[in-house]
């Protein structure tokens, strides 16, 4: 009888320290200012999507860069967002992406992915507090505009 050796991937939960300090998020302005730190000079070049991870007290516990695309869009995979939120044991998250064009209004695609993420994360009792769209000089908050 032959035996077969199978290779499996070992998945582990691991923390990586960064220079970003933990802060309490109290408003959309706090969120926008904090996540702006994740972008460098590419804020006006590439569209990127980040996930800000929070605990019950709205204190930051981590962040994840979900994707980086081109000048007009980026792909956001619901499974990847859920993975980071679950592995970090977050109870709340804030979504963030930038619009290199400078347009502050959310696109139809922005609204669709927000709804999909809200539904997906709800299965794990993880709440989306906001979805921030950054531009070079300003930001848009889904929560402030009542469209979350």
pLDDT at res. 70: 82
For residues 52-75, average pLDDT: 90
Phi, psi of 118 (to 5 degrees): -60, -45
pTM: 0.84
- How far is Cα 12 from Cα 80, in angstroms, rounded to an integer? 15
* % of the chain residues with pLDDT over 70: 86
Residue boundaries of the structural domains of the chain: 42-141
Q: Which fold would CATH assign to domain 42-141?
A: Cytidine Deaminase; domain 2 (3.40.140)
How would you class 19 by CB atoms within 10 Å of its CB: exposed for 0-12, middle for 13-18, buried for 19 or more?
exposed
Euclidean distance between CA atoms 76 and 48, whole angstroms: 9
Strand 60-68 vs strand 48-54: parallel, antiparallel, or unpaired?
antiparallel
What is the helix (H) or strand (E) element at residue 49, kind and residue range?
strand 48-54
Percent above pLDDT 90 for the chain: 68
């Amino acid at each position: 009888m032959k035996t077969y050796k199978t290779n499996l991937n070992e998945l582990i939960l691991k923390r990586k320290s960064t220079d970003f300090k933990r802060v309490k998020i109290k408003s959309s302005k706090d969120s926008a200012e904090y996540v702006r730190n994740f972008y460098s000079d590419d804020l006006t070049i590439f569209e990127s999507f980040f996930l800000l991870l929070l605990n019950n007290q709205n204190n930051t516990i981590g962040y994840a860069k979900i994707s980086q695309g081109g000048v007009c869009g980026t792909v956001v995979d619901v499974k990847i967002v859920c993975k980071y939120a679950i592995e970090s044991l977050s109870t709340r998250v804030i979504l963030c992406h930038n619009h290199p064009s400078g347009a502050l209004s959310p696109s139809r695609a922005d609204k669709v992915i927000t709804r999909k993420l809200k539904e997906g994360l709800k299965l794990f009792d993880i709440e989306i507090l906001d979805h921030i769209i950054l531009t070079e000089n300003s930001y848009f908050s889904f929560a402030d505009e009542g469209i979350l």
